[in-house]
Structure 1
Amino acid sequence: MDPEDANTPTTRLLTLLNVSALKSRKRPTEDPLPREKLNKRKALAFTAHPLQPEPEPSEFQNGAVSQLGGDPDAAEQEIDGHKGDQNDIAGEPIPPPHDQHFGPNPEILTEHSRTAVDQKQWKSHREKIGKLNAVASLLFDLSLQKTRVKKSTVLERLLNPFEARQAKQLAEHARIQDDLLSVLSAHLDVYHTCVSLEHHQCIREVITLHALDHVTKKRRRVLKNNDRISYAKSTSSDPPEDVQDQGFTRPSVLFLLPLRSSALAWLNALTTHTPSPSFQIENHTRFLGEYGLPPDALDKLATAPPGTYPPDHVEMFKGNVDDNFRLGIKMTRKSVKLFSDFYNCDLILASPLGLRMSIEKQKSSDFLSSIEILVIDQMNALTMQNWEHFVLSHLNKMPKESHDADFSRIKPWYLDGFSSYLRQSILLSPFEMSETRSLYNTSLKNVAGKIRVEKSWPALHVPEGIDHTFLTFDCLSPREEADKRFSYFTTQLLPKVLKSAVQSANTVVFIPSSFDFIRVHNYFRRMSGISFTVLSEYSSNQDIARARQAFFSGKQAFLLISERFHFYRRYKIRGIRNILFYGPPTHPQFFSEFLTYPFLDEGVDPSDVTCRVACCRYDWFKLERMLGSRGVKEVLNE
């Protein structure tokens, strides 16, 4: 063998398979030759019946029963088994939707479906899903009605307490949860672009219910097969072969979150589904100490009088705002074990930065090789962080090491490298951005399909009488957008402002992109005769105080502000009379906020304030949130 070939992923995988087979004295599971089943149990026939409710659990045929819990050797276990569907014409049991998608042989995973996904042959249309306005993208069917399932597919011991809590909350929240759960249970990818502050908590609860249901069903299957194997050994009978129930590693659910306070909110939502008196949350005190605020700390945002800070800012930054964290959670029937090792946990809560540092430290991302459900929350906040920290390229890759995996029990589509075609991704954001739409279009490959929840945006309310103008420039390619915008600003917009004695003073330049901010800052530094100061996310408290005072007093005519600075600090700037938006802000409320800041000073008339916004066709999402879904078409003439 060529020494270079020995290091290829395929060669390493085949070596691991052969070593595992020798250890267990079994042939590798990918044996191409058909073999007759040695066990007397019939293999499940995986046919597509997405509306079929999950069969009720029953005792095993051989009398050996188990209970769901944590590890296969744990004492705390729960009965797992499935009755055959008596209405099935073929006489074979119909698997529940979960097994149809994540079972060892899902019918939707074919060479044709994988090719269709790779070539982006989606068939898209708009569809109403209860209260949700969605754009459905499917491969072979233009109706979601055949893929949506009822929430009764959720395990009864999880569903009943959930429905009891639903009865006590607002009817609107319950409808949103039911509509979303019907799509999640069909294992479609979901891109929710209008998660409001009022609905965020109820959406978290329904997603954690779905994640916990997934982990529970997966562990049930593993424990059931453990009992079947043990029974075969105890009776000296032929061992079962239809036991492919695992991935390369144990973690199957990943939550990507921006801040530790977000992790605290998601864990609280997760534990609402485990309310039994005997239930324990291990290491909970340590978790509260590391992910909450110290007991003697005062949260200025949470304790401030209403109206002091914008509601979205309070919701985002109250509590612990550290963006470097990673937490493994192991689920058992009677406990949630926090701070579990990544290779011994079921769920991972982490920030992109925390995962990236963990991958760099371990020099391996094998713990992400078997993620089956991915949840990314508050994507608007993640885009304000370093987008390069995103670790999606590390998901569902072939592991570098075996990690004591039993390859005879790994699902075939993991061994074939097709797990990314079955991973369910759930993206949540209060609004849509070009980065997140690109992620939705290019990185989601679920052959079951995907939907995008959208809304019709109303126009923002701004103070009347202000002269605000949207100035468009031509741009034919997104690759040219940055250069075209800079050229328009420096040759068209800024020179006209400098010619006016009124508009060349008390002027704020708001710059959404950090890269553009550095470029414009350098341009101002090279120009002579312009006094300016800056506020960026890297400004210290002393720098901020000096810049605000210099601008308010008129010592500095221009103030350059980055959107990241305003996102994290949210200062009210006084002394503004003229506003130049280098580009529309990503967060629409920032536009209306800056138009109200001039009136912090006494005696300011709306006619004294001017506003100019430079924009192009690639600012559609941003302009839609500012001008409304109808107004954006008029500005861009489309």
Structure 2
Amino acid sequence: MPAPSLRLKRHKRTNKSWADGKQKQKKRPRKEGKINLEEDVAGDSQSLSMFEEDSVEEGSDNESDLQEHRTAGIVDADGDSDSENILEASNTDQEQELDVKSQTVAKAPASRSSFHSHLEYKLPETEVEDLLKKKWKYQWDVPAFGMPNCKWVGTGESVFWRTSGSNDFHSSPQRFFFSSLTRWILVTKNDSKVGKRWRMLRMNCLVVMNFLESWFTRPKVLILLPFKSIANRAVNSLIKLTPGAYKVNVEHMSRFSNEFGNHDDEDNVNTNELTGSVKNSNSQKSSKPPDHQALFDGNVDDKFMIGIKFTRKSIKLFSDFYSSDLIVASPLALLKKIEEAKRDKEKDVDYLSSIEVLIIDHADVIAMQNWAFLTSVLEQLNCIPSKQHGTDIMRIRKWYLDGHARFYRQTIVLGCYANPDINASFNRQCVNYQGKVKLICQYKGVLPKVSDQVRQIYQRFDADSVAEADNARLDYFVQKVFPKIKDSDEGGVMLFISSYYEYVRLRNFLKSQNASLCLLGDYAEPRDVTRMRNWFRNGEKKIMLYTERFHFYRRYKIGGVRNLIIYSLPERKEFFPEVVNMLEGADDMTCTVLFSQYDQLQLERIVGTASARRMITSEKGVFVFC
């Protein structure tokens, strides 16, 4: 199927979902198309997904030419306007024409589905070589409806169409959902053809058929999510959106509710296996910001995997992976399966070999967990399987056998923001031959949320390359910032660090200087956290190292902060005012921020896109906001 631009946007009384594709009818038809990544930010900070039912607030993400090697190919979306639940939208489809810089708006041919046109295209080796070079040129743009500060941009030719979906759907949300993913065409047509084939087998009249419709294994859609609570919402949304005729019976729903639903232990405390984060009781959660409560309200287990099978009249949850149509999993759980298969030759993960649609939802949360888990999973997608699994090799499409399945896979990423890890995966591991689509927006910044009493000093340091940026940052701190801290008798110095690796390097340096230090890092034990906070608040320790990941999971209000140094800018823009507003007890409260030209993505989310550009390109190296 063509990799469409998917945007499930909940907009006042209507829902708009745009599917775009393109065809070339010359020497190299359909050379490029679109892979879609998307980001959503709810409220001021809350991460939304295509399965959630919350309002959307405007933000932005703009990627400059200077940042091309870090940001090309990412989609970022925010919105300020209030919106309504997708399930409460009007049942009337509203057709709109897209003005794409004088390009023609086309309708999908009724006689041939975009799904078949995409999969039947024969990818020449010369084009494969071009795709492997990973060089993409964005050539067109389209206004992002409902988001005045945003626009879609994409590679190659731009031809748009919209389809209303099948007669099986009786509501606008259902039609938008399935026409955007174009999976329903695959399900219904394959059901029909497989049924016909088996009827002919039973009648002993099977003839040689001139079609290659098969694949290595059955699973076609993979949805990667960070927590069980989000998977719970996702699966329930899929069930609601499935036409009634196909969900007469939902098997193992009770088991699913027990394993993925909300339940606390006797102490009403849930400890996350990977991070050691703690979900407290309802009375304690009330002190947390709304976005934190929404994200961590529920089962935050990050190790899960479930197969879903669709039959003519039922949906089977917890189906065997090889008989499933769709798999919902966390990157951690899939990585464990991959590692088991490497250790035990009797096991395998060949059910990942034929994935045609990959959805990575809450990418920002997955990045906070460990993005390396996800990149390891992506490397295992669309590989030649180690076993046959009862597949008729003669009916498998040639591009599967050639190892080209990844060039036909559609990838959709949803999250709050773009960062270098997400960009790198998009650029290197998402190589659909039809190209890419991303959303470009303008940020307003979050400085109005910072206390007026805080004087913000932004200091730019120079770095020759991205690879040298970390070294340049540490050198600047050692030479320009640390001497002032060392010579001062005042305590209450908090150093905020976004990266765990930066945290380790800074910790090692400060220990080498015999600094009075307390640590609130990614893997701090709960008993140590209480002790460290008391030491810092009472002045027993002079310096505190505080990581973004710790703040993401705990969202504590740290007392005793009198001097704040943002060693590296946070990825999540809402964290900046939260941390800066911890400053207390000083007449001249100061926040020092270190940044380089390679921090533009984070910087523009905080100070605004226009200000970030000026700060990056200005001859001056110091900027003050009061």
> Shorter-chain TM-score: which interval?
0.7 to 0.9
Q: Distance in 2 between matches of 1:555 and 1:453?
A: 48
1:106 pairs with one of 100, 114, 121: 121
Worse-superposed segment, 534-543 or 222-231: 222-231
8 A contact 1:301–1:309 mirrored in 2:
no
Q: Distance in 1 between matches of 2:231 and 2:199?
A: 41
Amino acid across the alignment from 1:375: I
**Equivalence for 1:39:** none
Amino acid across the alignment from 1:477: S
1:573, distance to aligned residue in structure 2 (A)? 0.5
Equivalent residue pairs, number = 493
1:377 aligns with 2:361: yes
1:230, distance to aligned residue in structure 2 (A)? 4.9
2:380 pairs with one of 370, 376, 394: 394
1:226 aligns with 2:194: yes
| Within-5 A mapping of 1:165-314 | 206=177, 210-211=180-181, 214=183, 216-230=184-198, 239-274=207-242, 276=244, 279-294=248-263, 303=282, 308-314=287-293
Q: Distance in 2 between matches of 1:532 and 1:303?
A: 33
1:122 aligns with 2:90: no
SS in 1 for 2:574: helix
SS in 2 for 1:580: strand
Amino acid across the alignment from 1:479: A
8 A contact 1:116–1:122 mirrored in 2:
no
8 A contact 2:498–2:547 mirrored in 1:
yes
Amino acid across the alignment from 1:282: E
**Equivalence for 1:348:** 327
**Equivalence for 1:27:** none
2:163 pairs with one of 136, 143, 151: 151
2:469 pairs with one of 458, 481, 486: 481
**Equivalence for 2:24:** none
1:615 pairs with one of 577, 595, 606: 595
Q: Distance in 1 between matches of 2:313 and 2:393?
A: 29
1:328 aligns with 2:307: yes
2:294 pairs with one of 305, 309, 315: 315
Q: Distance in 1 between matches of 2:127 and 2:550?
A: 45
**Equivalence for 1:76:** none
**Equivalence for 1:506:** 492
| Within-5 A mapping of 1:452-601 | 452-460=438-446, 461=448, 462-502=450-490, 505-528=491-514, 530-599=515-584
Go from structure 1 to structure 2 and tell me whether the alpha carbon gap of 1:227 and 1:618 turns closer, same or farther (over 3 Å shift). same
Question: 1 or 2, which has the higher helix percentage?
Answer: 1
Go from structure 1 to structure 2 and tell me whether the alpha carbon gap of 1:403 and 1:234 turns closer, same or farther (over 3 Å shift). closer
1:225, distance to aligned residue in structure 2 (A)? 2.7
Q: Percent identity?
A: 32
Go from structure 1 to structure 2 and tell me whether the alpha carbon gap of 1:93 and 1:235 turns closer, same or farther (over 3 Å shift). farther
1:419 aligns with 2:436: no
1:95 aligns with 2:95: no
**Equivalence for 1:32:** none
1:142-173 deviation digits (Å, cap 9, x = unpaired): xx3x1x22132x22213x23x1x58xxxxxxx
Q: Distance in 1 between matches of 2:264 and 2:504?
A: 40
Q: Distance in 1 between matches of 2:613 and 2:305?
A: 43
1:237, distance to aligned residue in structure 2 (A)? 6.0
SS in 1 for 2:300: coil
SS in 1 for 2:422: helix
Go from structure 1 to structure 2 and tell me whether the alpha carbon gap of 1:275 and 1:155 turns closer, same or farther (over 3 Å shift). closer
1:42-90 deviation digits (Å, cap 9, x = unpaired): xxxxx97x9xxxxxxxxxxxxxxxxxxxxxxxxxxxxxxxxxxxxxxxx
- Which of the pair has the greater relative contact order for Cα pairs under 8 Å at 6+ separation? 2
1:448, distance to aligned residue in structure 2 (A)? 1.8
TM-score (ref. length: structure 1): 0.72
**Equivalence for 1:82:** none
1:108-131 deviation digits (Å, cap 9, x = unpaired): x34454333223343313322433
| Within-5 A mapping of 1:617-636 | 617-636=597-616
Amino acid across the alignment from 2:613: K
1:617, distance to aligned residue in structure 2 (A)? 1.1
Q: Distance in 2 between matches of 1:253 and 1:395?
A: 11
Go from structure 1 to structure 2 and tell me whether the alpha carbon gap of 1:209 and 1:608 turns closer, same or farther (over 3 Å shift). farther
Q: Distance in 2 between matches of 1:337 and 1:240?
A: 32
Go from structure 1 to structure 2 and tell me whether the alpha carbon gap of 1:331 and 1:558 turns closer, same or farther (over 3 Å shift). same
8 A contact 1:331–1:346 mirrored in 2:
yes
**Equivalence for 1:450:** 436
SS in 1 for 2:582: helix
1:302, distance to aligned residue in structure 2 (A)? 8.8
**Equivalence for 1:58:** none
Q: Distance in 1 between matches of 2:489 and 2:265?
A: 52
| Within-5 A mapping of 1:423-438 | 423-438=409-424
